[in-house]
Amino acid sequence: MSATTASAAPAGRTGGLAALLVLADGRLPAGGHAHSGGAEAAVKAGRITDGRTLEEFCRGRLHTAGLAAAALAAAAAAGLDPLALDDAADARTPAPALRATARRLGRQLMRAARATWPSDALDALAAARPRGAHQPVVLGLTARSAGLGPLDAAYAAVYESVSGPASAAVRLLSLDPFDATAVLARLAPAMDAVAERAADAARRAGVEGPDALPACSAPLLDITAELHASWPVRLFAS
Amino acid sequence: MTTALAPAGHGLLAAARVVAAADGRGGTALPVLDGGGPFALRRLRSAGHEARVCLVGAMSAPLGGDALALSADVGDGAALHFSTTAATIALPGRTGAPATYDVRIRVGDGAVLRWLPEPLISARGGELRMTTVVELAPTARLVFREEQILGRAGEPPGRLTARLTVRRDGRSLYDQELSYGPGVPGWDGGAVLGGHRAAGQLLVVDPAFAARPPEARALGPTAVVAPLAGPAVVVSAVARDGLELRTLLENGRSGVDFGIQHDTDIAVQQ
B198-205 and B141-150 beta bridge pairing? antiparallel
A94/B226 touch (CB, cutoff 8 Å), yes or no = yes
Give percent of chain B above pLDDT 90.
77
For the ranges A22-26, A97-101, B37-41, the lowest mean pLDDT is seen at B37-41
Instruction: State how far residue A232 is from chain B, nearest Cα, in angstroms.
Output: 15
CATH code for position A162 = 1.10.4190.10
Residue A7 lies in a domain: no
Helix (H) or strand (E) holding A159: helix A150-173
Indicate which of B129, B132, B175, B178 best probes the interface with A, i.e. most A CBs within 10 Å of its own CB. Answer: B175
Residue A92 lies in a domain: yes
Are residues B111 and B74 in contact, defined by beta-carbon separation less than 8 angstroms? yes
Residue A30 lies in a domain: no
A56/B177 touch (CB, cutoff 8 Å), yes or no = no
Handedness of CA A123, A124, A130, A134 (dihedral sign): negative
Handedness of CA A68, A99, B102, B201 (dihedral sign): positive
Residue A152 lies in a domain: yes
pLDDT score, position B269: 38
What would the pLDDT profile of A40-65 be if each residue is shown by its tens digit? 999 999 999 999 999 999 999 999 99
pLDDT score, position A27: 86
Helix (H) or strand (E) holding A17: helix A17-24
pLDDT exceeds cutoff 60 at B186: yes
Residue A38 has its nearest CB partner, among B191, B221, B228, at B191
Q: How confident is the model at residue A95 (pLDDT cuts 50, 70, 90)?
A: very high
pLDDT exceeds cutoff 80 at B200: yes
Domain count of chain A?
A: 1
Q: How confident is the model at residue B233 (pLDDT cuts 50, 70, 90)?
A: very high
pLDDT exceeds cutoff 90 at B98: yes
Residue A211 lies in a domain: yes
**Domain assignment of residue A200, given as a range:** 43-229
The CA distance from A219 to A227, in Å, is: 13
- Domain ranges in chain B? 14-254
pLDDT score, position B268: 40
